[in-house]
Chains A and B, each alone.
Chain A
């Protein structure tokens, strides 16, 4: 795709790319706490603050719980707020994630995805953010540092869209992306600033009977975060679901708008299809695994195997129609989970896919591969074995083992 704007190529680790995107996005308040493998984001951003390169209040909070709360409160006051965390930090925020989405505060957060204790493990998997599945946050997962940079910029536009007004998290795989240097193309400051714009507010009816922007403003007193009981709570929750539905469209719009200025897009913003056109067997994965998986697919294609890949970029809202359409002609699907749902008969992404494919016309075979927990490396050979399993299923005409553990000690 032709891009009209000259971009700068820099070697950046995923965390640095995130910090750089935040620096360019005219963020008012950053409230964050250090945790591996997210720490570089706050370190790098602290440098920008110390050198006067950003107009941002940086609040060095005493915990992730306060990081999320301060971000939420800043957002409620009308600020553009950002935070970043991982693993235990995200788990500590859990309570406040629901409050943030419930208050319709469009906070943006980077999550350097990492395993949860115990045993303690600092390496990458998706247990942390998958455990926040139902917290009302938009969830997007980056394949590489470039996408982490691009997604953070896009996330502000998506979250703050007046039809959405929901918080958004961008996941980047711990260490694999957070700490690995890649060539990243960055847009000029002015271009990003113009793209994200100044935050807008919906006009709401205040209890004075006036119409005013939805934020804490002494000129227009508003009660935010009230108690709502049996008679109103349910309606609040239903509205959040409606906002998620709007996000499906807004994510696609922002993805194509961003493509116009950067030359980069990620599928339709929701899912990225890789050689799926005539694929018979396909894998589904999130995040950095897709990079390796694409080379595996290429190899298999050379050998005449009709293999394809669906990378789920947006996990929440779950793009049901886009997934069904992408997999419409596939005969067997392997859904990969870097996360366990103990006692749940498969991982969380598998649950989603098997359930939404139940009503798909092609009715493909669906199996689950749980892999890479605690940062365990997954080799191209192991990934290739997934497709071999799918071919075996097609030959046999049945699924023998619905749930596989890839690369697990025997």
Chain B
């Protein structure tokens, strides 16, 4: 079934059986768990899933239980992409030799920000360079949550984590979030997209596109973590909306290197007056609490500045006129 035929209506989705099953041990309000469930609802046929060590791996596979209704492999932290490489290579040759029954099997690799920006990056870059046909999904909760909220290359500037605490001298993480999706576009891969679970239809459509493309696809999904963000579990999906509206996490896709904004971010580009200040998104998250104290003003300003600069850069890449000055 092609993307055009697939409607992703609420009814269709509700009727499709879950492949990421209930009963896993994720926290209340867990963004990644919602993301995984939506993504697995968007699969198109026989699928093998592989996953890096991390929150979702741990909560879904505690032996002798499993939340996976598809074949699933975990090996280590840095290996989501190299697992996918081996699985895809095996499927290809075994099909040629008539040793598997399926006409085609999709391969999806899930990794968190640690397993993607940091320790898993080399394997990811190598797998994409080799052109394996798989979808890599980064569920980005912006720190090493499973080990207790340590900063990663995906942690944004200013965020307090247990290894970048907001102290009296250093106000949270000093470094900036690695523009991972841009880096993946620079690999010359056929499909790269960003998404959040608030815009679930956009997310699911992108999953389907990523699976349909020949060769590697990369999907960067924003995944709020109430435990690590010190935020209200009831607000996770709201943060997934505010992040887009404030342009902290714009949604876009790059098809064969041609970049375009997806509708939610396109609407912000068309009506820049509606672009929300980053403070609207940051407020209420404990990890940014220090920014709202008098001494934190400069950090808050810097977050606004870098958000605007990156948004401008994205607008130029997408051929949109910058209206944020």
A residues in contact (CB < 8 Å) with B: 28-29, 31, 55-57, 59-63, 65-66, 69-79, 81, 95-96, 99, 103, 198, 207, 216-229, 232
Contact A226 B61 (CB under 8 A): yes
Chain A residues, CB < 8 A from B89: 29, 31, 57, 59, 70, 74, 79
In angstroms, Cα B309 to Cα A164, docked, is 58
Contact A219 B87 (CB under 8 A): no
4 smallest A-B Cβ distances: which pairs? A73-B86, A62-B126, A70-B86, A218-B46
Max chain B C-beta neighbours (<10 A), residue from A31, A72, A73: A73
Chain A residues, CB < 8 A from B71: 216-218, 220-224
Contact B86 A74 (CB under 8 A): yes
A218 is contacted by which of B64, B97, B102, B123 (Cβ under 8 Å)?
B102
Chain A residue nearest to B74 (CB atoms) is: A225
In angstroms, Cα B89 to Cα A63, docked, is 16
Q: Does B116 contact A (CB under 8 A)?
A: no
In angstroms, Cα B69 to Cα A221, docked, is 6
Interface size class of B (residues with CB under 8 A): 35 or more
Contact B130 A59 (CB under 8 A): yes
Contact A229 B62 (CB under 8 A): yes
Contact B64 A73 (CB under 8 A): no
Chain B residue nearest to A100 (CB atoms) is: B75
Q: Does B84 contact A (CB under 8 A)?
A: yes
Contact A69 B82 (CB under 8 A): yes
B239 to chain A, nearest CB (A): 28
Chain B residues, CB < 8 A from A57: 89-90, 92-93
- Contact bitstring B62-91, A, C-beta under 8 A = 1, else 0: 111010111111111011011111110111
Chain B residue nearest to A208 (CB atoms) is: B69
With known contacts A216-B71, A227-B57, A55–B76 Cβ distance under 8 A: no
Contact A70 B85 (CB under 8 A): yes
Contact B93 A55 (CB under 8 A): yes
Known contacts A69-B83, A79-B86, A223-B61; 4 additional CB pairs below 8 A are: A69-B75, A77-B48, A79-B93, A224-B71
Contact A81 B86 (CB under 8 A): yes
B62 is contacted by which of A96, A222, A226 (Cβ under 8 Å)?
A226
In angstroms, Cα B102 to Cα A257, docked, is 36
A207 is contacted by which of B66, B73, B82 (Cβ under 8 Å)?
B66
15 A-B residue pairs with Cβ-Cβ distance under 8 Å, sorted by A, are A28-B97, A62-B126, A66-B82, A66-B122, A70-B89, A73-B87, A77-B86, A79-B89, A99-B76, A207-B66, A218-B71, A219-B46, A223-B72, A224-B73, A226-B63
Chain A residues, CB < 8 A from B126: 61-63, 66
B85 is contacted by which of A59, A95, A96, A218 (Cβ under 8 Å)?
A59
Chain B residues, CB < 8 A from A79: 86, 89-90, 93-94
Q: Does B214 contact A (CB under 8 A)?
A: no
Contact B90 A62 (CB under 8 A): no
Chain A residues, CB < 8 A from B70: 218, 221
Q: Does B58 contact A (CB under 8 A)?
A: yes
A92 to chain B, nearest CB (A): 11
Q: Does B50 contact A (CB under 8 A)?
A: yes
In angstroms, Cα B96 to Cα A77, docked, is 14
Chain B residues, CB < 8 A from A226: 61-63, 66, 74
Contact B66 A73 (CB under 8 A): no
Contact A78 B90 (CB under 8 A): yes
Chain B residue nearest to A76 (CB atoms) is: B73
Q: Does B313 contact A (CB under 8 A)?
A: no
Contact B86 A63 (CB under 8 A): no
In angstroms, Cα B47 to Cα A308, docked, is 58
In angstroms, Cα B62 to Cα A69, docked, is 22
Chain B residue nearest to A28 (CB atoms) is: B93
B94 is contacted by which of A59, A63, A72, A77 (Cβ under 8 Å)?
A77
Chain A residues, CB < 8 A from B94: 28, 77-79
In angstroms, Cα B83 to Cα A28, docked, is 16
Contact B72 A221 (CB under 8 A): yes
Chain B residue nearest to A73 (CB atoms) is: B86
Max chain A C-beta neighbours (<10 A), residue from B79, B84, B89, B96: B89
Q: Does B147 contact A (CB under 8 A)?
A: no
Within 88-129 of B, Cβ neighbours of A (below 8 Å) are at 89-94, 96-97, 99-102, 105, 122-123, 125-127, 129
